[in-house]
Chain A
Amino acid sequence: MPSKRKLYQTALIALIYLLVWEAVSLLVGKELLLPSPFSTLSRLAVLLTKAETWLFSGLTLLRIMTGYAIGVISGVLLAVLTSRSQFAEALLSPLRAIVKASPVTSFILLALLWLSSDMVPLVISILMVVPMVWTATAEAILQTDIRLIEMGKMFGLTRWQIVKKIFVPSVLPQFLAACTTSLGFAWKSGVAAEIIALPKQSIGYMLYQSKLRIETTDLFAWTLMIVALSMLLEWLLVRGMRRIRHDA
């Protein structure tokens, strides 16, 4: 449980940001350009009473988190493969380099040519997550202390026991750090893909509609929704990771 002091501190920081936002909004003086925190939060409160807000947010979450999960699993599998086989590393590393270096919008536009709009955010999330998890996990596998593996063999550990007792705890910190970092990237890129691909039931679609109708308050309210969901996801992930580290 966070201490009272920490709660007060968080509340104070939030208040400072709101005051700065309010001050800048008053200075600009046009809700169309910069809505005030009050109007944005009011609009968000209205949106939250609508069933479609929850449905669209849920579907956006589902698309991106499915992509994220597939990305993490694929990243780990690729890391195991490329850390064990130099040929696999030589064969696959150019693909990793291309994905890392290319702008995400190129992939979104390409994916739009080949896939339905619903699938684009999912695939983009996968593409964002795979190289990060792959690189970090492969490096961690290669950095595992060879002397510990040798010790395990000398003391009769099976291959599976060596993986469980030596490789997994050794790789876990870097893997979990990559999972946290890539979650933010998957989320941002996934929503960006929705804004371009416009799947009908999505946060990205609502964001685009707000922009099209010049409803700046809606744009801000949906952006706030995206930020809140992202923070919630990260909080859940960090809590889950603490448990995994504790159990490992």
Chain B
Amino acid sequence: MMHDVISLKNVTKTFGGHAVLNNFSAEIPLCGVTVFRGASGAGKTTLFRLLMGLEKPDSGEICGLEDKKPAVVFQEDRLLPWSTALENAATGSDESRAREALVRLGLGDNLCQLPRELSGGMNRRVAIARALAYGGDVLFLDEPFTGLDEENKKIAADAMREANIPILVITHDDAEADLFGAFCEIRID
């Protein structure tokens, strides 16, 4: 069976004269789970930002995501400090989907709490719920399990897999990658 792919050809991205990605080429399958690995500063987050359209490459070509709607768990939670967990999770979607995602992630009793009233791990789960409720075509996860305990990592990974959309994930941790079951791996060095 043929699957769509994201194709990167000779992509270069420079910040302040320093090439974060230099002539990077890869084919990323748009199915299942793809894990991106590489040392800190290797350009994984920059690659994600290029794929999501938040940055433009200095040169090279990226194809395969033109008509896809990305859902994102950023490296930071990026929650609105003045909005409740439910309002945050409903950003870009509706409250019933957000409520469903929050309950799935074990935050059913915290719907009306503000980020400052929640722990770091809880806020991380709200950020994950927001991405799940959004219902994108591709799920981008930049170190999604930061601050989560083992049980909640598993619950979150199961919920993400159940979304049944391609997942692209940056993680340094082999055990975290294993939570998704079978996956492709792309190294960025």
Contact = CB atoms under 8 A, between A and B. Distances in A.
B70 A148 contact: no
B92 A157 contact: yes
Contacts of B54: 150, 154
Interface string A64-84: 000000000000000000000
B80 A166 contact: yes
A13 interface: no
B82 A147 contact: no
A9 to B, nearest CB: 31
Contact of A154 (B72, B76, B82): B72
A152 B54 CA distance: 12
Given A151-B74, A154-B70, A169 B82 contact: yes
B83 interface: yes
A148 B93 CA distance: 16
Q: Is the interface of A mostly helix, strand, loop or mixed?
A: helix
Nearest to B54: A150
A156 interface: yes
Of A148, A151, A165, A169, chain B has the most CB atoms within 10 Å of the CB of A151
Interface in B45-104: 52, 54, 69-72, 74, 76, 78, 80, 82-83, 91-93
Given A150-B54, A165-B83, A157 B91 contact: yes
11 contacts: A147-B74, A147-B78, A155-B71, A155-B72, A155-B91, A155-B92, A155-B93, A155-B134, A156-B92, A157-B91, A157-B92
Given A148-B78, A165-B80, A248-B82, 13 more contacts: A147-B74, A147-B76, A148-B80, A151-B74, A151-B78, A154-B70, A155-B71, A155-B92, A155-B130, A155-B134, A156-B69, A156-B134, A169-B80
